């Protein structure tokens, strides 16, 4: 897997590479090489490295690599902990144009788009290159540009479209385009990507996007637009293709050694130990186990799992007393921990079991915690971060069929997912069952809040009945069902989108305008 091994930064027009070598006074010497985006793209190696540079944006912890999960915490599954006040503002629908996290989410998305634009413009002009590599690389660039705009559109709504013509003319200060136009551009890019990309890769190129990723994102885009026919069409391309089959085990999607050859993971941040260490591993792992513990599942989410749904629940949630392979940190039991299995053991060590003193709600997410198998007890930076799975597409196809044809129309797709979890099949499933299945299958994967928004806009649910209830901790000691986030007020249509960062509006000198009601 080579796509993580090169960083190429294309933020606009110019990249300088200065090589001092053995020159004794490098500042008195002329640069040995300087490249613009126009003369960088000379050969196949440049193309591969340049496209790798687009992927590397995904690893940034202030963007897709982690902080974008703060927006999902606005749902009902997760409570924010930690020292990021901006995350709390997002969770509680009190974000303002000055809320910090808005800016890096905006900036990293446009950084990804900028790098993709350069690739799209210059790859066709490279004189000597294997045509299969040229075609694939263009497909990757179109996909990654579409993904950047998809994130922006989900969160901010209307945003400026910066495309090849803007790069060619240097005209970057442009107003927002309406949502319909932005989504049309995402659709166009994904259709091009699906046409150009291969269905699969060899081991050397695992982690690159393929046709299945483009089809899956088209399915998600069409569901945002309530286009059920198109969602079914493109989703079916994924779920009927054996190259994108569900993993044999649900846990394989989140287990090192099983992720790398997993056909279900359509698109992921392909982290690499000691190079692109997985930031998601650090942020989701509890503090007692050497992580930062920013995200804690609520009791309401834990209660959503059926009694028999132990496979998914154990792969999703960690509770007090749980252990995990290769975790070696031993914690002294204090009066804050001397409950449950630690009762009467104050002053002793927890062993490898998880104590309660770093859990806000009594839970943390299991999906993003992994340790090096070398006995060091350090977090394993190789952990991959799934962004799109085939199970998601199965359930979107089921939803589209139910909404189009009524209860029971999506039973086959729902039951395929349930069978993998070891659960009994159901019949006549309607929207209520579909909502349940998506919640427990995709919990903690930055899907829930956007699902809630979609369903509220379509009047399938009423968000007031969810957000007017507080987020609560486990009923067990020492949490005692405490309220960790009070009931919140969701204002429509304001809170369907977050505000544009004020610094962006200021830098545009008012060309970019604020979202309504902020």
Residue 16 tokens, joined? 């300088």
β-bridge pairing 14-16 and 34-36 = antiparallel
* Structure-token match 């019949």, residue found: 427
| Residue 141 CA, distance from chain mean position | 18
All structural domains of the chain with their residue ranges: 206-270+387-428
Residue 28 has pLDDT above 70, yes or no: no
- pLDDT tens-digit series, residues 393-403: 999 999 999 99
- pLDDT tens-digit series, residues 185-220: 999 999 999 999 999 999 999 999 999 999 999 999
pLDDT at residue 485, rounded to an integer:
97
* C-alpha span between 49 and 6 (Å, rounded): 6
pLDDT at residue 341, rounded to an integer:
87
Residue 3 has pLDDT above 80, yes or no: no
Alpha helices in 225-356 (DSSP H): 228-239, 279-284, 299-304, 310-316
| Residue range 42-66: mean pLDDT, rounded | 95
Query: Any residues with CB less than 8 A from the CB of 419 and at least 6 apart, and which?
Result: 425
* C-alpha span between 55 and 53 (Å, rounded): 5
Pick the more confident residue, 84 or 13.
Answer: 84
Mean pLDDT of the chain: 91
Query: Sorting pLDDT into bands at 50, 70 and 90, what band is 25?
Result: very low
pTM: 0.92
Spell out a b/e string for 144-164, using b for 16 or more CB atoms within 10 Å of the CB, else e: bbbbbbbbbbbbbbbbbbbbe
CATH code: domain 206-270+387-428 is 1.25.40.10
């Amino acid at each position: 897997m080579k796509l993580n091994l090169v960083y190429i930064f294309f933020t606009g027009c110019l990249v300088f590479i200065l090589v001092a070598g053995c020159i004794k006074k490098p500042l008195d010497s002329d640069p040995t090489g300087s490249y613009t985006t126009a003369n960088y793209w000379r050969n196949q190696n440049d193309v591969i490295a340049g496209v790798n540079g687009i992927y590397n944006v995904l690893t940034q912890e202030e963007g897709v690599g982690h902080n974008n999960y703060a927006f999902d915490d606005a749902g009902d599954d997760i409570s924010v902990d930690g020292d990021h006040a901006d995350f709390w503002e997002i969770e509680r629908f009190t974000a303002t144009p000055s809320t910090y996290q808005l800016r890096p989410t905006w900036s990293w998305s446009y950084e990804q788009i900028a790098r993709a634009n350069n690739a799209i413009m210059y790859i066709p002009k490279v004189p000597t290159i294997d045509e299969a590599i040229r075609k694939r690389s263009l497909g990757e660039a179109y996909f990654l540009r579409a993904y950047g705009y998809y994130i922006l559109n989900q969160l901010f709504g209307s945003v400026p479209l910066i495309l090849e013509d803007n790069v060619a003319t240097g005209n970057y200060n442009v107003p927002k385009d309406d949502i319909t136009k932005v989504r049309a551009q995402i659709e166009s890019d994904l259709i091009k990507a699906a046409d150009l990309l291969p269905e699969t890769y060899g081991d050397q190129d695992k982690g690159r996007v393929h046709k299945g990723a483009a089809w899956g994102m088209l399915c998600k885009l069409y569901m945002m637009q309530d286009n059920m026919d198109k969602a079914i069409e493109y989703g079916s391309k994924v779920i009927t293709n054996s190259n994108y089959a569900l993993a044999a085990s649900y846990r394989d999607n989140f287990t090192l050694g099983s992720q790398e050859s997993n056909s279900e993971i359509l698109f992921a941040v392909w982290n690499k130990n000691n190079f692109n260490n997985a930031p998601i591993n650090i942020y989701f792992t509890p503090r007692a186990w050497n992580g930062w513990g920013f995200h804690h599942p609520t009791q309401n989410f834990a209660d959503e799992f059926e009694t028999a749904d132990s496979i998914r629940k154990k792969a999703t949630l960690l509770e007090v007393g749980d252990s995990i392979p290769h975790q070696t940190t031993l914690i002294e039991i204090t009066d804050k921990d001397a409950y449950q299995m630690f009762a009467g053991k104050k002053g002793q060590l927890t062993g490898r079991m998880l104590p309660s003193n770093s859990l806000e709600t009594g839970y943390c997410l299991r999906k993003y915690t992994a340790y090096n198998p070398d006995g060091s007890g350090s977090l394993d930076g190789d952990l991959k971060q799934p962004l799109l799975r085939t199970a998601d597409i199965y359930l979107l196809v089921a939803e589209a069929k139910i909404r189009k044809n009524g209860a029971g129309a999506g039973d086959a797709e729902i039951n395929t997912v349930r069978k993998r979890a070891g659960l009994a099949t159901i019949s006549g499933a309607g929207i209520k069952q579909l909502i349940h299945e998506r919640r427990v299958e995709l919990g903690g994967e930055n899907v829930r809040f956007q699902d809630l928004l979609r369903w509220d806009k379509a009047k399938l649910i009423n968000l007031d009945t969810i957000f007017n209830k507080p987020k609560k901790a486990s009923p067990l000691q020492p949490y005692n069902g405490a309220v960790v986030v009070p009931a919140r007020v969701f204002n429509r249509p304001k809170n369907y989108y977050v505000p544009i960062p004020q610094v962006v509006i200021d830098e545009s000198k008012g060309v970019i305008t604020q979202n309504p009601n902020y």
